[in-house]
Amino acid sequence: MNRLEGKVAIITGAASGLGRADAEALVREGAKVLLTDVNEASGLDLASALNDRHSGCAQFALHDVRDEARWGEVVAEAKRRFGGLHILVNNAGVVVVATPETTTLEQFRFTNAVMSEGVFLGCKAAIPVMRDSGGGSIVNMSSVASHLGYPMFFAYSAAKGAVRAMTKAVAVHCQANKYHIRCNSIHAGAIDTPMVAKANAELGIKREDYEAAPWGLGKPEDVANLVVYLASDESRFVNGTEILIDNALTVQ
């Protein structure tokens, strides 16, 4: 407990799935968290539930990660409400089920705007405030889709590949400038989230199919536990790396 005491975090896409699990885990470990999402109702409900358990630990901000101006406002809001910024979890994501041949340009641009441009804008806005707060940790949600060939998730794979590369560049940039900001990416496999369930339903893949596979189906908490570690000072020498959390899926 209290592994993140005194730290302030922003989590994007926090209203459900991995973001929700991340928020619950960070708050449990003592962090103050600004939850952001385009789903206002669910985001407000989560903030209320977290504050019922830990008064004053969470606030919600309506936030489209594609909006550069809004990023500046969200980072300023975290600083105003909680006094600084030490952790950024770039988690917001979308998935379009389409192959290289069937993906439209509009779908490709939308997917990459959320997960590639959104991560870029988040890092750009957060770095100066994190630096002034004494440093911290950026955790970018990538995916095993950046390692494996998933033609049905073509745009998603492209965006997650960009996240993988940007993470390393941010880590080196911050290190070279002595900002004391680490940046790492998480590459999850099959995790039981609403987004994964929706995509599988479109493909006709049943939950039992995942559960019967050798690697199985992970839980959001499995990823959240790793986020806590990367956000904490325990991982102070972990920087610029990509961590697979896929129960050996990528080495089959």
Annotated catalytic residues are 156
Say how many C-beta atoms besides its own lie within 10 A of residue 232's C-beta.
Answer: 19
Torsion of CA 189, 26, 84, 43, to 10 degrees: 80
The number of CA neighbours under 13 Å toward the Cβ of 200 is 16
Residue that is written with structure tokens 């979308």 in the block: 94
Which strands make up the sheet holding 136-141, listed edge to edge? 58-62, 32-37, 8-12, 87-90, 136-141, 181-188, 242-245
Q: Residue 184 is inside which H or E element, if any? A: strand 181-188
The answer to whether 61 touches 85, Cβ cutoff 8 Å, is no
Helices (H), the chain: 17-28, 40-53, 68-82, 105-112, 118-132, 154-176, 194-203, 207-212, 220-231
